[in-house]
Amino acid sequence: MKKNILAVAMMGFGLMTAMPASAAEADRRQVSQQARIVDGVKSGELTGREALRLERKHREIQRDIRQARRDDGHLDAQERAQINREQNQLSRRIARQKHDGQTR
Ligand SMILES: [Ca+2]
Ligand SMILES: [Ca+2]
C-alpha cells in the first residue's frame, strides 16, 4: 500500500517536471510573481514606481492568459510557450529592479 502511494507521488512529480510550462504552471507563476512584487515593496527593494510598472506587465500577462483560454478553454503548447516567455521576461525585470539599488 505504502509502495503504491509512493509510486503515485513519484508519477505526479515526473509529470510536473516533464511539463514545466503546463497551464497550471502559468497560473502558479502568476501568483508567485505577484508575491515577489509585493515582497519587493515591503522590503523596500522596489520603489512605488518600479512596482507599478511591474504590476502593469503582470496584468498584461494575466490578460494574455485569459485571452489564450477564451478560444478553446485551454492553453495549447504554443500559448503556454508565449506566456512562459512573457513570465521569464517579467521575472528578470523583477530581479533587476530589486537589485538596482533604488529603494525610494
Ligand atoms: Ca487557447
Ligand atoms: Ca529598486
Nearest listed ligand to the Cα of residue 103:
2
Distance CA 24, CA 51 (A): 25
Tell me, what's the pLDDT at 103? 72
- Degrees to nearest 5, angle at CA 24 with 74 and 82: 65
Nearest listed ligand to the Cα of residue 65:
1
**Residue showing cell 527593494:** 45
pLDDT digits (tens, 9 = 90+) for 44-101: 999 999 999 999 999 999 999 999 999 999 999 999 999 999 999 999 999 999 999 8
Q: What is the mean pLDDT of residues 23-35?
A: 94
Distance CA 82, CA 75 (A): 10
Nearest listed ligand to the Cα of residue 66:
1
Give domain limits for the chain: 22-98
Choose among 27, 44, 26: nearest CA to 85: 26
**Residue showing cell 503582470:** 58
Residue 17 in this model has a pLDDT that exceeds 50: no
Tell me, what's the pLDDT at 104? 65
Sign of torsion over alpha carbons 80, 82, 85, 86: negative
Distance 32 CA to ligand 2 centre (A): 19
